[in-house]
Chain A
Amino acid sequence: MSANRWLATGNYFTSYREEQRIFFTSLDKTAMLLFILALFAWPLFFHVGNKYMLVVDNILVAVIAVMGLNLVTGFAGLISIGHAAFVGIGAYTIASFASVLGANHILLTHAWPLMIFIAGCMGALFGALVGLPALRLKHLYLAIATLSFQMIFQWVINFMNFFNQGQTISIDRVVWFTGQVSRREHYLFWYYAILVVIVITGFAVRNLLRTRYGRCLVAVRDNDRAADAMGMHPGLTKVYAFGLAGFLAGVAGALHAFLYRGVGIESFTLHHSINYLAMAIVGGLGTLNGSFWGPFVIQVLDLQVERLSEWAGAHLTFAANLATALKPLSFGLVIVLFLMFEPRGIANWWRITRSYVKLWPFRY
């Protein structure tokens, strides 16, 4: 342990355990703690309308989903173009319970944390099933296999009466210790619920990444022949990666279902899969904090572009067609620019900023 616990200038580790820690200095730890506290506290001081709270909630749900996608695509290197379908599996697990038991059944209104967990498990199950081709296929062929799952999922939901043919299946408001969550507090309540889930899953994933269950993902990404020689079954490791991604996607789906108080197919289409992939790329593939940057940037960008196109549509009538194209256009542009100029994503900017601040006022 260094003499200064707040700002260590070098490596003062005296045991292996010290080196395994997530936070190396008390400053890191306190900063993280304060950041999490701030996330919990800010709604108490700033009252935002439901419309914007919904945007924030959406970002948080996407964070969980992208965290899963990042595990399978970023860490394990398996491109998944069916991630929205896994999110959909989670949401439709909740919807299935709602349509079998009734939307106001006690399991859904009171035991909703359990339901979220079950939805995650269903996601993991389907993730592992869809990951089975990874035993034989690689690279783009595997990506096509996940794409086919996306298509099958949409098709099944659209054609089955049980799932209301993709029309919304509604879910009741949940009950908290203070009674049923009211319409006004609904989005605020779910903000806290999702935040708690993020904190738990975030630390869980961070822990996984510093153990054999995280290292094996990177091993099969970098060299699955050598991974085999090191004593891990490369195929099963890939299936496991898909299962892990499916779990987080399922949890995100369940949260989405509760947040919107309903499940419809329009939230789980191919478009959303690509959106998740874009978030992962923009945030930074293969980094944990990238899963937080990506959804935030893409959603905020979406919102601003929507505003701009509304304004343009109203004021520049001759450009009305262009205004509607603005959203997909800017979305595509951002992905292309990131792939060209910063393929390591915003997480890389964060890394550079951090090391700059750490060394300031010296350059290196």
Chain B
Amino acid sequence: MTHLIVSDVTLTFGGLHALSGVNVDIEPGLITSIIGPNGAGKTSILNSISGFYHPTKGEIHYGDRCLTHASPHQISNIGIARAFQNLELFSGLSVLDNLLLGRHQNLKYSFLDAVIYFGKASRLEAENRAYVEKVIDFMELEPYRKEMVGNLSYGVQKRVEVARALTLAPQLVLLDEPMAGMNIEEKEDIVRFILDLKKEWGITIVLVEHDLGVVMDISDQIYVLDFGVLIGSGKPDEVASNPKVIEAYIGEE
């Protein structure tokens, strides 16, 4: 099992320190949450891990691979998938095509195979379609398979977003606020999916979420950020009783 280790990462935009000297150790097979007030740098960490930003200082390692300067498509190919906070779906395509795009790297046929289609391309498309169906089944997206993503409701689009990350067959998923803007039932659904992912699929999960109730309930490990600085980490109850964390969230007495 591979550890994802973010060591001493600093990320600056001009004079703004989005992250300063952050250390995060994401253990395999667990749910690790990153929390913090708005603008604390939670999404910046995810962006640094998934290659959209490159740290100004420090390093990110996944097992023995260095991800510090890798680009997003390289990172997704080594088994780290990402679901975005603001929906970044392919709105002109159906749910099915969105998910099949997640299989892009697994469809290993050549351009010529694709032009001829019959034979290899057709076979691999069907095989990968079967994998996509497994994800559709898991995320309970059956009624929406052929719908244009742009026409779906927000809650379903969020689910498609998570499903698309899963079609990459990742070992680790980065979920950026998968429950933002959802009602209680939709949240319960997503929580169920996340727990099943951990238990049944054995996927490591990094969760960024504002709903502290959910985070405290399901996380194995929590990291708390404030203004780009790590102010606390540990098991949920340890974090909840950490005075620095309480100060960041509620303020000083």
Contacts and interface: CB of A to CB of B under 8 A. Distances in A.
B109 A229 contact: no
A207 B116 contact: yes
A226 interface: yes
Interface string B83-104: 0100011111100010011111
A54 interface: no
Interface in B111-151: 111, 114-117, 121-122, 125-126, 129-130, 133
Nearest to A216: B104
Most buried by A among B72, B111, B121: B72
Given A16-B130, A218-B92, A226-B88, A213 B114 contact: yes
B12 interface: no
Interface string A181-224: 00000000000000000000000100110111111101101110
B73 interface: yes
B104 A212 contact: yes
A232 B102 CA distance: 10
B54 interface: no
Contacts of A214: 114
A60 B2 CA distance: 57
Chain A's interface size range is: 20 to 34
A230 interface: yes
Interface in B14-30: none
A233 B118 CA distance: 26
Nearest to B113: A211
Given A230-B164, A230-B168, A231-B105, A223 B114 contact: no
B76 interface: yes
B104 A207 contact: no
A286 B91 CA distance: 14
Contacts of B52: 225, 228-229
B105 to A, nearest CB: 4
A222 B90 contact: yes
Contact of B73 (A15, A210, A233): A233
Interface residues of B, number: 39
Given A16-B126, A20-B126, A225-B52, A218 B104 contact: no
Contacts of A212: 100-101, 103-104, 107, 109, 114
A207 B88 contact: no
A229 B92 contact: no
A17 interface: yes
B159 interface: no
A13 to B, nearest CB: 11
Contacts of B90: 218-219, 222-223, 226-227
B82 A17 contact: no
Nearest to A15: B126
A222 B91 CA distance: 6
Interface in B44-102: 50, 52, 71-73, 76-77, 81-82, 84, 88-93, 97, 100-102
Contacts of A15: 126
A226 B168 CA distance: 13
B65 to A, nearest CB: 16
Contacts of B164: 230
A222 B90 CA distance: 5
Nearest to A213: B114
Contact of A230 (B92, B101, B109, B114): B101
A229 B82 CA distance: 7
A215 B97 contact: yes
Contacts of B133: 16
B90 to A, nearest CB: 4
A207 B105 CA distance: 18
B72 A222 contact: no
Contact of A207 (B100, B114, B129): B114
Interface of A: 15-17, 19-20, 204, 207-208, 210-216, 218-219, 221-223, 225-234, 286
**8 closest Cβ pairs, A-B complex:** A207-B117, A222-B90, A211-B114, A226-B88, A228-B72, A16-B126, A231-B76, A16-B129
7 contacts: A19-B129, A214-B114, A218-B92, A227-B90, A228-B52, A228-B72, A229-B88
Given A16-B129, A228-B71, 17 more contacts: A19-B129, A207-B115, A213-B114, A218-B90, A219-B90, A219-B93, A221-B92, A222-B91, A226-B89, A226-B90, A229-B81, A229-B82, A229-B88, A230-B102, A230-B168, A232-B105, A234-B73
